[in-house]
Amino acid sequence: MNGFVVVDKPAGMTSHDVIARLRRALGERRIGHAGTLDPAATGILLIGVGRGTRLLRFLEAHEKEYEADAILGLRTSTQDAEGDVTGEADASAVTEQDVRALLPRFTGEIDQVPPMVSAVKIGGERLYKKARRGEEVERAPRRVTVHALDLMGFEPGPRARASLRVVCSRGTYIRTLAADLGDALGVGAHLTALRRTRVGPYALDKAVPLDAVTSEQLAPMAEALSGYPRHDVGVDGARALIQGKPLPAAGLDGPYAVFGPDGLVAMAEDRGEELRSLCVVA
């Protein structure tokens, strides 16, 4: 049982909960996901099954699209509705135009400080574990890319609400984006809802509800790599890659998918004059 499936994750479950459910449903231990979603978040979670788990790091590189709702005027300890309120302000003076005028500041390459509830490791420990003990530690900013940031809706008031569409790179924290936007407006903000609507070429119209996933929904591993360049080799080349041997460089940029006569063989990259496999899936 090898392949991948696009799951529409329900609210109230961790990404690990989804994996545990699928292991029972499919009777397969080798299952993993690309790109964690918080328990309160919903939407697309790419799942690798069997040898498909070897491709997850390449799926994580895809850009992601989200729909997010934020409340202005309330800061929280977790930058979302699960945390304690740490600051309040009247957002009545904030207008839709005020929000729109600030969006370009958060578009393109920006620096984000990872939230304390993230899975980033500092001192060998995940930040969220430190946060559970009430600890706050210094975090270095990380460079991410926001390809698009659009205001989809706005409701004025003391607790104004903003609905955002975000297209971003891997590693972008939408909760931090909302909180930083609120700070720039002078009133603070926190995230109240988050839905991942696309990962690379996979949108919600291709997603399967978690309870409906069966082995029949598994897509071939090759479909997961549709956004990567393709390089074809013959029988001898495929055998060499499976045995861990190099081939002549393909002359392609970045990681690419290598196909033999029987289908997908490996992900590989050029290293000087040689083609070297990054992972073999055949």
Exposure string over 207-235, b if 16+ CB within 10 A, otherwise e: beebeebeeebbeebeebbeebeebebee
- Check whether 43 has a pLDDT greater than 90: yes
Q: What is the pTM of this model?
A: 0.90
22, 47 Cβ separation under 8 angstroms: yes
- pLDDT recorded at residue 117: 76
Q: What average pLDDT is seen over the chain?
A: 93
Q: Which long-range contacts (CB under 8 A, 24 or more apart) does 105-110 make?
A: 105/184, 106/146, 106/149, 106/177, 106/180, 106/181, 106/184, 107/146, 107/147, 107/148, 107/149, 108/145, 108/146, 109/143, 109/144, 109/145, 110/143, 110/144, 110/145, 110/146
- pLDDT recorded at residue 94: 98
Catalytic residue from among 8, 17, 38, 150: 38
- pLDDT recorded at residue 223: 87
Largest CA distance in the chain: 69
CATH superfamily of 64-199: Pseudouridine synthase (3.30.2350.10)
Question: Which one has a higher pLDDT value, 113 or 145?
Answer: 145
Q: Measured between alpha carbons, how far is 78 from 82 in angstroms, rounded to an integer?
A: 7
Give tens-digit pLDDT for 209-237.
999 999 988 999 888 888 899 999 999 99
207, 6 Cβ separation under 8 angstroms: yes
Task: Give Cβ neighbours of residue 148 (< 8 Å, ≥ 6 apart).
Answer: 107, 165, 166, 167
Do the domains spanning 64-199 and 228-280 agree at the CATH topology level?
Answer: no
- Check whether 33 has a pLDDT greater than 90: yes
Give tens-digit pLDDT for 129-138.
777 777 777 7
Whether 38 is catalytic is yes
Q: Does domain 228-280 have CATH number 1.10.10.410?
A: no
**Range with the poorest average pLDDT among 9-23, 118-132, 166-180, 261-275:** 118-132
- CATH architecture for residues 3-61+201-221: 2-Layer Sandwich (3.30)
Residue ranges per structural domain of the chain: 3-61+201-221, 64-199, 228-280
- Check whether 139 has a pLDDT greater than 90: no
pLDDT grade, residue 247 (50/70/90)? very high
